Amino acid sequence: MKENLVHESVCHYLRYQYPDVFFFSDGSGLKLPFSIAKRYAKLKSGRGVPDLFIAEPTQLYCGLFLELKTDKVRPFLKSGKLSRDVHLREQFHVLRFLQERGYAAFFACGIDQTITIIDNYLAERYEWLEHYEKPYLVAEELMEE
């Protein structure tokens, strides 16, 4: 399944499963005419903005940012290191930046993993989210070596 279909499916799920939760998507993945895409890029702080933001604070987090991927993409290697893909690395740094500022911010690979993250976040099941945050800390430590 393509990333745009994952994105649309997740937004559909959010609208129907959590109708009172406010969320919005970054439009960077849209196929826009060059002139509009250029103007749109000027309206953001930079590259690597996550695909989806759920503006629902919890006891521990200010909101949830998700960088959506297909279930075939693996940002972290089995060794715990971050993929060498430049775009994934750029997105990783933005997610860490957001985590350091009090947001839950993760890669979400495929519909099932994305829904699991959203459900756990909104149910405030922190033990699961803290477990999911661990690869980011490990990857950052490995990058410093």
Q: Are 23 and 54 in contact (CB under 8 A)?
A: yes
Encoded amino acid at 71, one letter = D
SS3 76: strand
* pLDDT tens, residue by residue, 49-101: 899 999 999 999 999 999 999 989 888 888 778 888 898 999 999 999 999 99
What pLDDT, on a 0 to 100 scale, did the predictor assign at position 14? 97
What is the band of 143 on the pLDDT scale with cuts at 50, 70, 90? Answer: low
Q: What is the mean pLDDT of the chain?
A: 83
Query: Tokens 């829904």 sit at which residue?
Result: 115
Does residue 80 contact residue 119 with C-beta atoms inside 8 Å?
A: no
- Check if the beta carbon of residue 74 is closer than 8 Å to that of residue 83: yes
* Encoded tokens for 96: 């860490």
Percent of the chain whose pLDDT exceeds 70: 74
Domain layout of the chain by residue ranges: 3-144
Instruction: Write down the architecture of domain 3-144 according to CATH.
Output: 3-Layer(aba) Sandwich (3.40)
